[in-house]
Amino acid sequence: MKVIYAGFSKTGTKSMQAALTELGYNVYDFMEQYKYQGKEWMKIFKYGGTTEDFRKMFENVDAVTDMPACYFWDEIHKAFPDAKIVFSIRDEESWMKSLNKQMLENTKPIFRLLRLLSPTMWQMTSYGDLMSLVIFGFSNWMNETAARMTYRRHNAHVLQNAPKDKLLVYNVKEGWEPLCKFLGVDVPSKPFPHRNVRGNILQEMLEKDPIFIRGQREVMISMATLLALFSYGSYRFVTSNPMTWLGRFHSFLTAFTSS
């Protein structure tokens, strides 16, 4: 582990992931942490983790961004004391607005269907629910007061406890120069990447991420299966006593034509 991005979610994490990847680092963002470390994180969410746990989890990872690692930055740094810490703060009101928008995105019908009808997405959302409960104290709903308190505590903890010689307080709007100087790497010729500016990361995942694509396929399979079972059940119900249904249909036609 070489770089820990300790900035909270919604403080430029996707831009930092793209920037660090461009600099040649192997970066674990939210999805990578879920895909490759999901079991380990679930254990930590439920029972806690030791320094050795974090060392094993990240020994082959160069950099980490976003949840849940940003929240556990201190524990990761204890496992890798030579790692550098990059930290961003966003003003609380715009951060809260962005978080609220993210929570609303999660309630869209497509995500409700994914959670209900896709085993893959049910497992992922269960992971996310437990992570949210551990970090914020709530899941599946928005408690703005609790969210704000968590954000303030996290920021204060980083600023007060991160080793000053290992810490860069940084804003992605500053571009390559301060980041590359801090990390001791050359400045790329490409423009600094700015990702998820409009908060459309979930739509992007639906279109490109293998887990979300698999989840959508599972939804289609589940819906087709339910439709087939319903059709078969209806057919068996009707054919089990056809005279009764013919009689009811005749009564309906008689009442309809006489009215």
The answer to whether residue 105 is domain-embedded is: yes
Q: What values do phi and psi take at 118, rounded to 5? A: -115, 115
Please determine, for residue 3, whether its predicted confidence score (pLDDT) is greater than 80. Answer: yes
Angle made by CA atoms 75, 55, 49, in degrees to the nearest 5: 50
DSSP 201: H
Please answer whether residues 210 and 50 qualify as being in contact, where contact means their C-beta atoms are separated by less than 8 angstroms.
no
Q: What is the pLDDT of residue 115?
A: 79
**Residue 246, in any domain of the structure:** no
pLDDT at 138 over 60: yes
Domain membership of residue 227 (yes or no) is no
Average pLDDT of every residue of the chain: 88
Q: For residues 5 and 36, what is the distance between their CA atoms, to the nearest angstrom?
A: 18
Find the domain containing 138 and state its range. Answer: 3-220
| Through-space distance between the first and last CA atoms of the chain, rounded to whole angstroms | 80
| pLDDT number for residue 65 | 98
**pLDDT tens digits, 56-104:** 999 999 999 999 999 999 999 999 999 999 999 999 999 999 898 888 7
The answer to whether position 208 is within a domain reads yes
Q: Which two tokens stand for residue 13?
A: 């994490």
Residue with the larger pLDDT of the pair 224 and 13: 13
Q: pLDDT per residue over 242-258, tens digit each?
A: 556 556 555 655 665 56
Taking the complete model, does pTM exceed 0.85, yes or no?
no
Average confidence (pLDDT) over 4-31: 96
Question: What total number of domains does the chain contain?
Answer: 1
pLDDT cut 70: percent of the chain above it = 86
Locate tokens 């940003």: which residue?
70
Whole-number pLDDT of residue 245: 56
- As given in the structure block, the two tokens for residue 67 are 């949840």
Q: What is the CATH number of the domain that holds 87?
A: 3.40.50.300
Between residues 62 and 107, the one the model is more confident about:
62
| Sheet (strand 27-28) strand order | 27-28, 63-64, 3-5, 84-87, 167-169
Is the residue at 241 inside a domain?
no
Q: What is the pLDDT of residue 153?
A: 97
Residue 5 is encoded by which pair of tokens? 């991005």
Specify the pLDDT at position 44: 98
* Per-residue pLDDT tens over the stretch 180-228: 999 999 999 999 998 765 556 677 777 778 887 887 788 788 778 877 7
Assess if residue 170 is contained within a domain: yes
pLDDT: which is higher, 42 or 108: 42
244 domain residue, yes or no: no
| 8 A C-beta contact, residue 214 and residue 120 | yes
Mean pLDDT for 147-154 is 97
pLDDT at 221: 86
Please report whether residue 232 resides in a domain: no
